[in-house]
Amino acid sequence: MASENGVCFQVVLFCMFFAVANSIDLSYPAAFNFGDSNSDTGELAAALGFLLAPPNGQNYFKPPSGRFCDGRLIVDFLMDAMDLPFLNAYMDSVGLPNFQQGCNFAAGGSTILPATATSISPFGFGVQVSQFLRFRARVLELLAGKKLDKYIPAEDYFEKGLYMFDIGQNDLAGAFYSKNLDQVLASIPTILLEFETGIKKLYDHGARNFWIHNTGPLGCLPQVVAKFGTDPSKLDVLGCVSSHNQAAKTFNLQLQTLCNKLKGQYPDANVTYVDIFTIKADLIANYSKHGFEQPIMACCGYGGPPLNYDNRVSCGLTKILNGTKISAKGCNNSSAYVNWDGIHYTEAANQYVASQILAENYSNTPSPNKMPFLL
């Protein structure tokens, strides 16, 4: 780390994380993950054939790993807690990927609603579910041949495994570019109906353990503040865009209602609703208490304070704009930042969020209503 304080902070988080992880039962033989860039471990990069530029990956993997982060994601820390290896991306065929203990279908830019011609990712939630169903069918065929059982899940892993979901952020954030707040709020039931359809398909094919993350405070992302926060009246006391956070909270409350509905429909299933919003909102509101120095400004970006974000140049890249060369460079100490690149969180922030998830204080609670500083 670039500073002694950064090292101490990481050590404290490391100890806290594993103390918590050892206190709860996470005995799943495999995990199957669905989502967007918040949990993409290389799917979009493999599928579209591109490499993320350094300094992505610098704090853990060293070269970029296909993750939109300086290191590990929340899902990576959760896999560690379950004593399972990091999940390989479904589309990644290089490096002898092993899917024996799970597979990751999450892809950056993905939405719950089907992709359109202008979507960043073609892998909407329905496509990810279809990929899983093909994966499952192919695994069962290969198991019959008894040749690749060292590399693919056992048949009962599909029932005993954990199904993880972190998706919906792009449905909301993307909608604001063409819709007002009322229109975005009106679209939420349609989004969640698509999500429910996918969950039911997975249940019909044996899934029983569902771990569903809600969406975080979108209005606090530098990308959103740069685009929609130029008018100070649209910002809250933390400098976050109020409309986006209101949409996130509404989405989350309806998602929680859906989770309760699924519990009633499927009494033999375990459905856990995880309140990511409250964890991240508290981290941003009380960043110094949690060991951070910058709650909103991006670590890897261009433009300097207060946001260090320019949508014309992504983290690690250099462009010529109006005859001037501009570069989005990483900061000296990413562990002091909550935000990595204007959209995604740093490894240090992801580690903190994961520790709070594992503490089980943020599951199955209607806590978005308890965050008055983000109303």
Residue whose token pair is 């040749």? 147
Whole-number Å distance between alpha carbons of 108 and 115 = 12
Tokens read off for 7: 């090292």
Tallying the residues shown for the chain, one arrives at: 375
C-alpha to C-alpha distance for 184 and 171, rounded to whole angstroms:
9
Q: Supply the pLDDT for residue 96.
A: 64
Q: Is 40 a catalytic residue?
A: no
Q: Is 37 a catalytic residue?
A: yes
**What is the mean pLDDT for each group of 10 consecutive residues in the chain (375 residues)?**
41 40 68 98 94 95 96 98 96 81 98 95 98 97 82 95 98 97 98 98 98 98 97 96 98 98 97 97 98 98 97 96 94 97 98 93 54 35
Spell out the domains of the chain, with CATH numbers in brackets.
4-292+349-359 (3.40.50)
**Residue 166 · residue 36 · CB < 8 Å:** yes
* Angle made by CA atoms 286, 241, 112, in degrees to the nearest 5: 100
Q: Which among 166, 152, 177 has a CA at the least distance from the CA of 211?
A: 166
pLDDT of residue 360: 76
Query: Considering 65, 335, 344, 367, which one is annotated as catalytic?
Result: 344
CA dihedral (292, 294, 297, 298) positive or negative: negative
Mapped onto helix, strand or coil, the DSSP state of residue 320 is strand
Q: How many helices (H) and strands (E) does the chain have?
A: 11, 9
Task: Report how far residue 327's alpha carbon sits from residue 236's, in angstroms, rounded to the nearest whole number.
Answer: 30
Helix (H, G, I), strand (E, B) or coil at 110: coil
pLDDT of residue 148: 76
Instruction: Pinpoint the alpha helices (H) of the chain.
Output: 4-21, 43-48, 74-81, 125-145, 157-160, 169-175, 181-204, 222-228, 242-265, 276-285, 347-358
pTM, whole model, 2 decimals? 0.90
* Residue among 37, 242, 314, 367 flagged as catalytic: 37
CA distance 322 to 211: 47
Strand pairing class (318-321; 324-327): antiparallel
Catalytic residue among 36, 242, 341, 355: 341
275 is an active site residue: no
Q: Which of 46, 120, 55, 140 is nearest to 87 (CA)?
A: 46
Token duo for residue 54: 């350094």
Dist CA 294 CA 188 (whole Å): 31
